[in-house]
Amino acid sequence: MDPLIFRDRKQAGELLARKLTKYAKREDVVVLAIPRGGVPVGFEVARALHLPLDVFIVRKLGVPWQEELAFGAVATGGIRVLDEQIVESLHLTPEQIESVTERENKELERRERVYRGKRPPLAVKGKAVLLVDDGIATGSSMLAGITALRQLEPAQIVVATPVAPPTTCARLRKKADDLVCVTMPVSFFAIGQFYENFLPTSDAEVCALVEEASAAIARSAV
């Protein structure tokens, strides 16, 4: 069977929402989307299920001389997690760790200001969180996100994505409480190969969608 090809992130979010209907209209569920590309997908999930939407920003902490290798992550909520095994095996110094952390925290704080403005982050303690991205390749960033999100004490973390390879899904299932994926193609080279339109999502689009979702929840509460 040929892998499913999504028209765009909007359609991908709509199809993903159909697999998450058991979470619809529940006061103990929130949608957290990983910017940038995860936000249009998360927006459609939140809209279809009548749930609040927020961004959850994750920044990997890359080894200084091999930045694609993460030794930890910082995330929304002032969270930092370190992979002690990598830190010890590469003999990273406290100065190196703090230098990278400071740089990534600055970028995280910049994105928080741009995407959320003055709105406080959604409370997730004791709630089920649908953690959404537009696709997952190796899963490294999502694993870091799950670990960071655990520090905020949600009742449940559900990784939700339109597309990811089976091997990545198996890795993530060991860390998340549940995983929902629309299509899991074995032949997987890049997320973009499963979208007809995979243009970059802009900061302006992220802001507009988060604002629209917030306004929709406010209207429904009246």
- Please report whether residue 1 resides in a domain: no
Mean pLDDT of 10-31: 97
Do 99 and 28 share a structural domain? no
Question: What residues make up the domain containing 123?
Answer: 9-57+117-221
Mean per-residue pLDDT of the chain? 92
Do 216 and 194 share a structural domain? yes
Do 162 and 110 share a structural domain? no
Do 165 and 76 share a structural domain? no
Question: Is the pLDDT at 204 greater than 70, yes or no?
Answer: yes
Contact 92, 17 (CB under 8 A): no
- Please report whether residue 37 resides in a domain: yes
Question: Is the pLDDT at 216 greater than 80, yes or no?
Answer: yes
What confidence tier does 44 reach under pLDDT thresholds 50, 70, 90?
A: very high
Answer with the one of 94, 115, 136 that is the final residue of a domain: 115
Do 160 and 133 share a structural domain? yes
Do 126 and 29 share a structural domain? yes
The pLDDT value recorded for residue 222 is 58
The pLDDT value recorded for residue 47 is 96
Question: Is the pLDDT at 167 greater than 60, yes or no?
Answer: yes
Q: Which tokens go with 47?
A: 């809209």
- Please report whether residue 2 resides in a domain: no
- Please report whether residue 188 resides in a domain: yes
222 burial class (0-12, 13-18, 19+ CB within 10 angstroms)? exposed
The pLDDT value recorded for residue 2 is 63
At 88-137, the pLDDT tens digits run 999 999 999 999 999 999 999 998 889 987 888 889 999 999 999 999 98
Do 194 and 108 share a structural domain? no
Do 132 and 91 share a structural domain? no
At 46-74, the pLDDT tens digits run 999 999 999 999 888 989 998 878 888 88
Do 36 and 104 share a structural domain? no
What confidence tier does 191 reach under pLDDT thresholds 50, 70, 90?
A: very high
Question: Is the pLDDT at 152 greater than 60, yes or no?
Answer: yes
The pLDDT value recorded for residue 184 is 95
Question: Is the pLDDT at 1 greater than 60, yes or no?
Answer: no
CATH number of 106's domain:
3.30.1310
Sheet with 178-183, side-by-side order of all strands: 53-55, 29-33, 128-132, 156-163, 178-183
Do 173 and 107 share a structural domain? no
Instruction: Report the domain count for the chain.
Output: 2
Q: What is the pTM of this model?
A: 0.89
Give helix 166-173 / helix 140-150 axis angle, nearest 10°.
Answer: 20
Question: Is the pLDDT at 147 greater than 90, yes or no?
Answer: no
Do 186 and 86 share a structural domain? no
Do 196 and 93 share a structural domain? no
Beta strands at 66-75 and 53-55: parallel, antiparallel or unpaired: unpaired
CATH number of 152's domain:
3.40.50.2020
